[in-house]
Structure 1
Amino acid sequence: MKMSINSKRFIAFLVAIFVAFSAVSPFAHASSVTEPSSIQENSVSTVDSEASSEIVEPQAVGKIVGWLAKQALEILREGIKLSFGKEYNKFYGGLDPGTKTYINSYDGRQRLLRGVDKTLDLIEDTTEYAQEILRSRAYEGMRSVGVPPSYADDIAENIAGTIAWIVFP
């Protein structure tokens, strides 16, 4: 069963909300709650356990970023395939005129879609990605299917920017 762009966006939104609320939830630090009679004795260890849990949580959030990046790239892929949507407009609007001409050709469009598929293969669900690393993966994906370097660089830059825009609007 294929998911629509709105369904994928909704799932990504729910995951982001879940992660955000789990980081600030009063239940997230349940192990650091002490009994009233031992508050004074354990006050230092309580602070230490809270600090250590705060160090672990950003790593858990980072592991979701790869999955969210893949979901955003799949949303963009559908937009590219249909030449439609806010995500496609964000991506397409940032391209140079020469790259737009290349993408509008049948061969360019097919290579772009194959390059996006290759980029999806290069992104791992459990890895944290910065925008620059996503750009590098997208460039690698475009070059592996024969997109010329000048177009691949422009496309990769706009793919990474659009992914960041989708995930962090």
Structure 2
Amino acid sequence: VTPKPVLIFVPGGWHTPGTFAPTTSLLSKAGYITIGVSLPTIGSELRNEPPRQGWNHDVAEIRRVLLEYIDQGRYVALIVHSYGGTAGSEACRDLSKIRRESQGLKSSVIKLVYMSAILLDIGHYIWEAKGGKPFDANRTIMKGDPCYATDTVPWFHNERSPRQQENIPK
């Protein structure tokens, strides 16, 4: 019997791994190992930390989590949302089943699932996709490189019940 793959979830901008809790709790009950990646560039203001340097730190953290399980001989499915799609795609570089098997290695990333994720051509950036402009100026604040959302609940979670909205970082 082949063991189930480890499911690694990467949130989008202004989100934490807790965003996936309704889904990951069901998957855990079905016998899957589910892991949420906390992106270093997301939520530093909530942790009283200085903002991290950027996208490369997010890529490195996702890759660290992927390799933690791949190095244990596990197959991994990476599920990415929104901004997590850009960093997650890069983090998977050279970890595909075909690439790893060609190196005599068995464990790998066997699935890459994009959920409303940003998928860019190689060498391009999110700001380019937006014409060099930040996201909705009424909902974001630029402070140097970091981009802060003014209130994520009405922007991202307006279809959730008030009870479901209680645990969402504001």
TM-score interval, normalised by the smaller of the two chains:
under 0.3
Give 1 or 2: higher strand fraction: 2
- Higher RCO, Cα 8 Å, sep 6+: 1
TM-score by length of 2: 0.26
TM-score by length of 1: 0.26
Give 1 or 2: higher helix fraction: 1
Radius of gyration: which is bigger? Answer: 1
